[in-house]
Structures are given as C-alpha cells and as structure tokens.
Structure 1
Amino acid sequence: MIACLNIKQVEKISKALGDPYRLKIMNIISKSESCVQCCDVSAEFNLAQSTMSHHLKQLIDADLLIADKDGRNLKFVINKEVCAAYADYINSLLL
C-alpha cells in the first residue's frame, strides 16, 4: 500500500530534492541492488564529510532514505513507499 502524504511532507521532500547533490545521491543509491554504504556515496563527490552528512541527513529527514547502522558504518536504501507516494502526488497535479 502506498502512503498518503500531507502537504508538509510534500514540501519537505520537494526541498530535499531541490539540491543537485541530493538528486545525485538518490540516483546513486537507487541504482544499487542492495544497501549502499556512506563511504560508497561519498566517494562519488568532492565534498567535505560534514557537507555529505548534511545532504544525507536532509534525505533521511524527508523519509526519502532509510539509514541502517551496521557497526560503525551507515547503509542506505531508498524508501520506495514514500517515493511512490510523492510521485503519485506530483502525478495528481497533472490531472
């Protein structure tokens, strides 16, 4: 079942996806067949670790990513339910 988003959630997701780095992070993680480690995502960018952490936190706070702590590492996976609900919301604007 696809979740229904309220306007605040849509706003938060839209803001999170409004940054080109975050879009690229989502793209990298979405193409992976399994969870992606933080170091794998960071390797794709020339950003300070604190900046990368900020971008990942924005995506997690918007419920677009699910973070799973594995020892000292974090692994990420796309929250498909929330992404599908967001896509449904956007599609509803076109009807």
Structure 2
Amino acid sequence: MITELNIKQVEKISKALGDPYRLKIMKIISQSDSCVQCCDVSAEFNLAQSTMSHHLKQLIEADLLIADKEGRNLKFVVNKEVCAAYAKYISDFGL
C-alpha cells in the first residue's frame, strides 16, 4: 500500500494529468465497474491509434492506470491506491 508519493511521482502524475485527453481517459476508465478494453476507450475519441497509445502509455508510466494483457487485447483499470495518494498530496495544500 502506498501511503505517500515522492516529489518525482507527484511531478510525473501531474504531467500525465495535464492533458485534457488523458483526463477524459481517466474519467472513462474510472467510471467503469470492471476493466476497460483499449478499443472501448479509443471509441470515445477521434484520435489516431498511435496517439491513443501514447496517452495510455503516459498514464501507465505515471502509475495511474494498471494494464492487463489478455491475448492480443489490453484492459485497463484505474490504480486507486496511487490516485488516492495523489489526491491526499494535493489536499495537503489546504486549498
């Protein structure tokens, strides 16, 4: 269990969430009760596959998403532990 993020982790997460497409991807995946397939996420956007892959990669590298490969398909779920730690870090600003 992650209790605190270091400054590098916070920076990486902040950069990943600094893009409106990635914010929307996170929202779509977080609203699902189960893992979401890549094609289901892609269907919500008018983006090239390479662009969508780039956005997903950024979210995975920031530990915001967990990817699970099933055969040729990737499924995603939000890493709630990291998101909660990030929310706690931000809430400590007292805003």
TM class, shorter-length? over 0.9
AA aligned opposite 2:78: I
> What 5-or-longer segments of structure 1 have no aligned partner?
none
1:7-41 deviation digits (Å, cap 9, x = unpaired): 00000000000000000000000000000000000
1:8: which partner in 2? Answer: 8
TM-score by length of structure 2 reads 0.97
SS of the counterpart of 1:47?
coil
SS of the counterpart of 2:92?
helix
Matched, 1:50 2:50: yes
TM-score by length of structure 1 reads 0.97
Tell me, in whole angstroms, the C-alpha distance in 1 between the residues paired with 2:4 and 2:30: 21
> What 5-or-longer segments of structure 2 have no aligned partner?
none
Aligned-residue RMSD, C-alpha? 1.0
Shift of 1:3: 2.7
* Large movers: runs of 4+ above 6 Å: none
Question: Sequence identity, in percent?
Answer: 86
